[in-house]
Amino acid sequence: MAYNFAPVDREQLLLMPPSVAEWLPDDHLAWFVIDVVGELDMSLFLASYRLDGRGGAAYDPQMMLALLVYAYCLGERSSRKIEKRLVEDVAFRVVAANQQPDHATIARFRVTHESAIAGLFGQVLAVCARAGLLRPELIAIDGTKLNANASRDASRTAEQIAKEILTEAAATDAAEDADEAAVTPADHDGSDAGLRNRGGRRERLRALLDELEAEAAEKSYEAHLARRAEKVAATGKPIRGRRPTPESATHKSRRQANLTDPDSRLLKTKDGYLQGYNAQAVATTDQFVVAAEVTNIAMDAPAYAPMVTAAKKNLNAAGEKRRVRRVVADAGYWSVENVGMKGVESFIAPGRARQLKKIAETEQARAAILDRVESCEIDTLEASEQLGVTRARVNQLLRRRRAGDPDPLTTTMIARLDSPRGRKIYKKRAPSIEPVFAQIKHNRSIRTISRRGLSAADSEWKLICATHNLLKVYRLA
pLDDT bin (cut points 50, 70, 90) of residue 184 is: very low
Q: Is 70 among the domain residues?
A: no
Both 424 and 310 in one domain: the answer is yes
Which range (45-54, 103-112, 168-177, 360-369) has the least confidence?
168-177
* 211 vs 349: CA distance, rounded Å: 35
Average pLDDT, the chain: 81
Both 177 and 271 in one domain: the answer is no
User: Do 319 and 332 contact (CB within 8 A), yes or no?
Assistant: no
Neighbours of 40 (CB within 10 A): 19
Q: Is 441 among the domain residues?
A: yes
Q: Which residues contact 371 (CB under 8 A, 6 or more apart)?
A: none
Both 348 and 231 in one domain: the answer is no
Write out the residue range of the structural domain in which residue 221 sits. 153-183+195-258
Q: Is 437 among the domain residues?
A: yes
Region 289-310 average pLDDT: 94
Q: Is 474 among the domain residues?
A: no
Q: Is 370 among the domain residues?
A: yes
* 399 vs 124: CA distance, rounded Å: 51
Task: Indicate whether 194 pLDDT > 50.
Answer: no
- 58-79 pLDDT, tens digit each: 888 999 999 999 999 999 999 9
Region 251-255 average pLDDT: 59
What's the confidence (pLDDT) of residue 397?
A: 75
> Higher model confidence: residue 256 or residue 29?
29
What's the confidence (pLDDT) of residue 191?
A: 36
What's the confidence (pLDDT) of residue 340?
A: 85
Both 362 and 340 in one domain: the answer is yes
Task: Indicate whether 389 pLDDT > 90.
Answer: no
Task: Indicate whether 449 pLDDT > 70.
Answer: yes
Both 175 and 287 in one domain: the answer is no
Region 413-439 average pLDDT: 89
User: Do 42 and 62 contact (CB within 8 A), yes or no?
Assistant: yes
Total domains in the chain come to 2
One-letter amino acid of 314: N
- 31-56 pLDDT, tens digit each: 999 999 999 999 999 888 888 777 78
Both 272 and 363 in one domain: the answer is yes
Both 280 and 323 in one domain: the answer is yes
Region 159-173 average pLDDT: 62
* SS3 state at 280: strand
Q: Is 407 among the domain residues?
A: yes
pLDDT bin (cut points 50, 70, 90) of residue 398 is: confident
Both 201 and 251 in one domain: the answer is yes
One-letter amino acid of 419: S
Final residue before a domain boundary, out of 258, 277, 298 = 258
Q: Which residues contact 204 (CB under 8 A, 6 or more apart)?
A: 259, 262
Task: Indicate whether 387 pLDDT > 50.
Answer: yes
> Higher model confidence: residue 243 or residue 278?
278
Task: Indicate whether 262 pLDDT > 90.
Answer: no
Region 218-228 average pLDDT: 67
Both 218 and 307 in one domain: the answer is no
Both 253 and 269 in one domain: the answer is no
Both 254 and 271 in one domain: the answer is no
Final residue before a domain boundary, out of 242, 258, 274 = 258
* 476 vs 127: CA distance, rounded Å: 13
* 469 vs 317: CA distance, rounded Å: 16
Q: Is 133 among the domain residues?
A: no
pLDDT bin (cut points 50, 70, 90) of residue 196 is: very low
What's the confidence (pLDDT) of residue 187?
A: 43
Q: Which residues contact 109 (CB under 8 A, 6 or more apart)?
A: 59, 61, 64, 68, 101
DSSP-assigned letter for residue 60: P
pLDDT bin (cut points 50, 70, 90) of residue 186 is: very low
CA distances from 110 to 36, 73, 380, 443, 466 (A): 19, 15, 63, 23, 15
CA 4, distance to chain mean position in Å, is 58
Both 245 and 358 in one domain: the answer is no
pLDDT bin (cut points 50, 70, 90) of residue 445 is: very high
> Higher model confidence: residue 153 or residue 185?
153
* 303 vs 141: CA distance, rounded Å: 9
Considering the chain, what percentage of its residues have pLDDT values greater than 70? 74
* SS3 state at 270: coil
What's the confidence (pLDDT) of residue 177?
A: 55
Q: Is 92 among the domain residues?
A: no
Region 348-359 average pLDDT: 68
